[in-house]
Amino acid sequence: MSDVKERIAELVGKHDVVLFMKGTTLFPQCGFSSRAVAILDHLEVPFETIDVLQDAEIRQGIKEFSDWPTVPQLYVKGEFVGGSDIMMEMFESGELKQLVAANAD
């Protein structure tokens, strides 16, 4: 129905671990995105990032796609995991490591 939803579905289907964020891994443009990158770096898994600041359509579209009002957003194997607070909680409990280890190539 809408192109942007198809684009997002393709992105989260193509990569095992995808982070929608503001900025890039080297230059995150927001503290929450920076924290999300730091968590994934720490887990030492390969991940893909999408800079929503470079794409207004995705910036709006991802909020509707996930029914989630903020960025960053993490997807693992096409499933929405959560934003940076959930990532931090799951990181601290060890759940995130398990999840990505089970799903990342």
Chain residues in the site for other proteins (CB under 8 A): 31-32, 63, 67-70, 80-83, 85-86, 89-90
Choose between 44 and 85: whose C-beta lies nearer to other proteins.
Answer: 85
Structure tokens at 8: 């997002």
Choose between 25 and 70: whose C-beta lies nearer to other proteins.
Answer: 70
Choose between 10 and 89: whose C-beta lies nearer to other proteins.
Answer: 89
Cα dist. 94→50, 57, 88, 90 in Å?
25, 34, 10, 6
Return the number of other C-beta atoms located less than 10 Å from residue 63's C-beta. Answer: 16
Q: CB of 28: closest distance to other proteins in angstroms?
A: 14
| HEC per residue, 87-105 | HHHHHHHCHHHHHHHHHCC
Q: CB of 25: closest distance to other proteins in angstroms?
A: 21
